[in-house]
């Protein structure tokens, strides 16, 4: 039996540098996608929760994880996708939301998603903080974002949808 050389905390801190491929200003840990690290004699299992079922970034993230750990000589590594519990924007850290906002993406509004499916919410502009904004497109360049425009500073911006 080989005793694993790294602790869960060490693995998480190594993986925390991996950026979200589509929003490189935040990393996979603060986004809540890196769900768990399981360590036993047979190796390291990294548990990921996809943000969206069809998120094309998951394959890239899996590769990044394997590459990052391989560089440290950490093996064997297995990456597992789990749907339970379902990823939610509630898992994003406050630091991640702050980074998104400074990057020009309005962070998800609620601590938990509104249950009223048809409600339209006021999304403050991440640049001038005006609440006079209008939705341009409910869907944007990635599955997780909508497009808005600010009526005060006139800048268009992305909103990270509540999920």
* Residues that bind another protein in the complex, under the rule CB under 8 A: 50, 52-56, 82-88, 113, 117-118, 136-141, 143, 147, 161, 163
**Min separation Cβ 114 and another protein, Å:** 10
Q: Which is nearer to another protein, 118 or 122 (CB)?
A: 118
Q: Is 5 exposed, middle or buried (0-12, 13-18, 19+ CB in 10 A)?
A: exposed
Beta pairing partners, 92? none
For residue 19 the two structure tokens come to 């950026």
Tokens of 16: 């925390």
DSSP code at position 2 = P
Residue with smaller CB distance to another protein, 77 or 147: 147
125 contacts 147 by C-beta, under 8 angstroms: no
Residues 74 and 44: beta-carbon distance below 8 Å: yes
Q: What is the nearest approach in angstroms of another protein to the Cβ of residue 159?
A: 13
Question: How far apart are CB 143 and another protein at their closest, in Å?
Answer: 6
When the beta carbons of 4 and 35 are compared against another protein, the nearer one is 35
Tell the residue number behind the tokens 């769900």, with chain if given: 35
CB of 96 to another protein, least distance (A): 19
| Minimum gap (Å) between residue 73 Cβ and another protein | 29
- For residues 11 and 144, which CB has a smaller minimum distance to another protein in the complex? 144
Q: Rounded distance, CA 73 to CA 141, Å?
A: 36
Let me know if 44 is exposed, middle or buried by CB neighbors in 10 A (0-12, 13-18, 19+): buried
C-beta closer to another protein: residue 41 or 116: 116
């Amino acid at each position: 039996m080989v005793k694993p050389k790294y602790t869960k905390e060490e693995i998480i801190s190594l993986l925390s540098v991996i950026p979200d491929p589509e929003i490189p200003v935040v990393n996979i840990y603060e986004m809540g996608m890196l769900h768990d690290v399981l360590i036993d004699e047979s190796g390291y299992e990294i548990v990921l929760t996809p943000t969206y079922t069809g998120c094309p970034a998951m394959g890239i993230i899996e590769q990044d994880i394997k590459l990052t750990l391989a560089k440290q000589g950490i093996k064997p590594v297995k990456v597992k996708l789990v749907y339970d519990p379902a990823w939610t924007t509630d898992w994003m850290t406050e630091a991640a939301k702050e980074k998104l906002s400074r990057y020009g993406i309005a962070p998800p509004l609620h601590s938990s998603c509104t249950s009223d499916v048809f409600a339209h919410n006021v999304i403050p502009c991440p640049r001038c903080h005006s609440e006079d904004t209008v939705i341009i497109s409910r869907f944007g360049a990635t599955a997780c974002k909508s497009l808005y425009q600010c009526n005060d500073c006139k800048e268009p911006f992305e909103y990270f949808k509540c999920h």
